[in-house]
């Protein structure tokens, strides 16, 4: 499970957890983004064995594809079969309010790069099918969990951009035109690498802000982190129930 900006609280509630800082894992650099604590946590949540990744690596930090998706590939090598991804994202759709949780049903890759470019790695497909990148069965489990908790769980399309600057109003209009509901700077490379390894993927965006042109307020990362903390508690409850049902 990958915990995005300001969403690392679940890592503190792992039963019997063993925490390993990224710097102690060969090939893992220190994270440079506020809100990404940079540690792996092994343990149990709701009776299920989990590997939590608190923080992630981004292309905009200057990392290459091998680093950005290294944790997902490591998880696949350890026998993990399902990956839960989370992120903080901006709302492109007027129907997605700040503080809501969106389940990702599909994505658009505007990063202009793929983690699969280059030699085919052992255990990965050259041309993985992406007609259903986010597992339909797991999404059904998530809907059931949300109903039980009384959490509204809209579904939408996530657009991944390179960053690190926030998008311009014109770019947001473009994203809306191609069907995006939310925008962020992560998640898609990990989802692609996971699918290439045959892993099932489930992903959520915490909507931390309205994108440029939808709000008069300037965007800043501090507000993203703060809203991530506010909404992170609801997402943690949702993830716990989902894990219990898996």
Q: Is 88 a catalytic residue?
A: yes
DSSP string spanning 96-122?
S-TT-EEEEEEEEEESS--TT-SSPPT
Q: Which listed residue (19, 46, 60, 223) is catalytic?
A: 60
Q: Which of 241, 4, 235, 243 is nearest to 100 (CA)?
A: 235
Tokens of 126: 């050259």
Q: Which listed residue (221, 223, 226, 246) is catalytic?
A: 221
Q: Is 205 a catalytic residue?
A: no
Q: Which listed residue (1, 8, 11, 58) is catalytic?
A: 58
Banded pLDDT at 111 (limits 50, 70, 90): very high
Q: Is 209 a catalytic residue?
A: yes
Q: How many domains does the chain have?
A: 1
Q: Is 221 a catalytic residue?
A: yes
pLDDT attached to residue 6: 59
The reply to whether the predicted model has a pTM over 0.85 is: yes
Q: How many Cα atoms occupy the beta-carbon half-sphere of 19 within 13 Å?
A: 13
Q: Which listed residue (54, 185, 194, 211) is catalytic?
A: 185
Q: Is 100 a catalytic residue?
A: no
Give the CATH number, domain containing residue 166: 3.40.50.1580
Pairing of the two strands 48-54 and 155-161: unpaired
Dihedral angle over CA of 207, 212, 214, 220, nearest 10: 50
pLDDT attached to residue 223: 67
pLDDT attached to residue 220: 65
Q: Is 107 a catalytic residue?
A: no
pLDDT per position as a tens digit, 24-79:
999 899 877 765 678 899 998 888 899 999 889 999 999 999 999 999 999 999 99
Q: Which listed residue (103, 209, 212, 227) is catalytic?
A: 209
Q: Is 63 a catalytic residue?
A: no
pLDDT per position as a tens digit, 72-86:
999 999 999 999 999
Q: Which listed residue (5, 8, 87, 91) is catalytic?
A: 5
Domain extent for 67? 2-245
Q: Which listed residue (46, 61, 105, 226) is catalytic?
A: 61
pLDDT attached to residue 37: 74
Neighbours of 97 (CB within 10 A): 12
DSSP string spanning the chain?
-EE-TT-GGGGGG-EEEEEEEGGGSTTPPPP-STT---EEEEEEETTEEEEEEES---GGGT--HHHHTHHHHHHHHTT--EEEEEEEEEE-STTS-TT-EEEEEEEEEESS--TT-SSPPTT--SS---SS-S-HHHHHHHHHHHHHHT----EEEEEEE--SSPPPHHHHHHHHHTT-SEEESSSHHHHHHHHHTT-EEEEEEEEEEEPBTTBSSPP-HHHHHHHHHHHHHHHHHHHHHHHHH-
Q: Which listed residue (186, 197, 205, 231) is catalytic?
A: 186
Q: Is 61 a catalytic residue?
A: yes
Phi, psi of 52 (to 5 degrees): -100, 135
């Amino acid at each position: 499970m990958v915990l995005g900006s300001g969403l690392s609280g679940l890592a503190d509630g792992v039963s019997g957890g063993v925490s390993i800082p990224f710097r102690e894992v060969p090939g893992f650099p220190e994270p440079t983004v506020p809100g990404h604590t940079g540690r792996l946590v092994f343990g149990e949540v709701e009776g299920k064995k989990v590997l939590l990744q608190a923080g992630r690596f981004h292309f905009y930090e200057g990392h290459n594809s091998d680093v950005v998706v290294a944790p997902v590939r490591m998880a696949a090598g350890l026998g993990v079969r399902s990956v839960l991804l989370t992120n903080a994202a901006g709302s492109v759709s007027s129907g997605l309010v700040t503080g809501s949780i969106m389940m990702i049903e599909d994505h658009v890759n505007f990063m202009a790069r793929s983690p699969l470019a280059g030699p085919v790695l052992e255990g990965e497909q050259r041309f993985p099918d992406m007609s259903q990148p986010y597992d339909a069965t797991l999404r059904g489990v998530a809907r059931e969990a949300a109903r039980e908790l009384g959490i509204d769980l809209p579904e939408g399309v996530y657009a991944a951009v390179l960053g690190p600057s926030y998008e311009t109003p014109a770019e947001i209009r473009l994203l809306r035109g191609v069907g995006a509901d939310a925008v962020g700077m992560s998640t898609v490379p990990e989802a692609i690498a996971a699918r290439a390894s045959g892993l099932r993927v489930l992903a959520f965006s915490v909507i931390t802000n309205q994108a440029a042109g939808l709000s008069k307020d300037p965007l800043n990362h501090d507000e993203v982190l703060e809203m991530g903390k506010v909404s992170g508690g609801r997402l943690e409850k949702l993830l716990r129930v989902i894990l219990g049902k898996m």
